[in-house]
Structure formats: structure tokens, C-alpha cells
Amino acid sequence: MARVKGGKQSLKRRRNVLKMVKGYRFGRSTKERMAKEAIFHAGKYAFAHRRDKKNDFRRLWNVRINAGLEAVDISLSYSKFIGALNKKGVKVNRKMLAELAEKSPETFARLVKKVS
């Protein structure tokens, strides 16, 4: 059987790797080995930060709800409000509460009065 050299496949693989690191700085955008390592790390960070984004948004919603509560009722804290919501059986998630507090404070105020 004749020998097959892998030049065509190697070139294709190298081209794909370098296409993925377009815009990276220094050797990571031109050298194959550094580019492969950069792709590997970028993938790890992307995975971890997709998880972190969920925490970041939850923190942001908490801050917005707390700010809305301060505007309505000074004595009511975030944790007491969430506890009261759960006791009353109101099924509104934090994202929607934050949206209400920011976009329509009068509706949020009515919800606070109903719960407290």
C-alpha cells in the first residue's frame, strides 16, 4: 500500500485552529501551539463564566429588589420580603420582582403592601 502523507489534513487543521484565534494578541494568533493552548483556556473560561453569569444576575436582581423595597417601605429588608412572599405563596421569581421594582414601582408597591 502506498504511503499517505498528511499534509492536506494538517494544513486544514492548522487553518481551522488559527481561524479560531483571530484577533488574539501576540503569538497566540500566529503560532499553532500557542493558539491551541489559547483555545483550550478560552473554552475553560467560557464554561466557567456561563455559570458565573447566573450568579451575577441573581445578585443584580437582589440589589434592585432591595432598592425598590427601600423606596416603598424602609423597615422591610430583602430577606424578610422574600420570606413573606414564600409564606403567602406568591410565586413570582426574583427576575420578575426586579423588573417590577425598576419599571413599574406602583405595581411593586402594591405587591409589597399585599405581602407585608
The pLDDT tens digits for 5-64 are 889 999 999 999 999 999 999 999 999 999 999 999 999 999 999 999 999 999 999 999
Which top CATH class is 9-115? mainly alpha
| CA quadruple 83, 88, 89, 90: dihedral, nearest 10 | -80
The pLDDT confidence band at residue 1, using thresholds 50, 70 and 90, is confident
95 Cβ contact partners less than 8 Å away, ≥ 6 residues apart:
57, 61
CA distance 107 to 114: 11
Q: pTM value?
A: 0.74
CA distance 75 to 49: 36
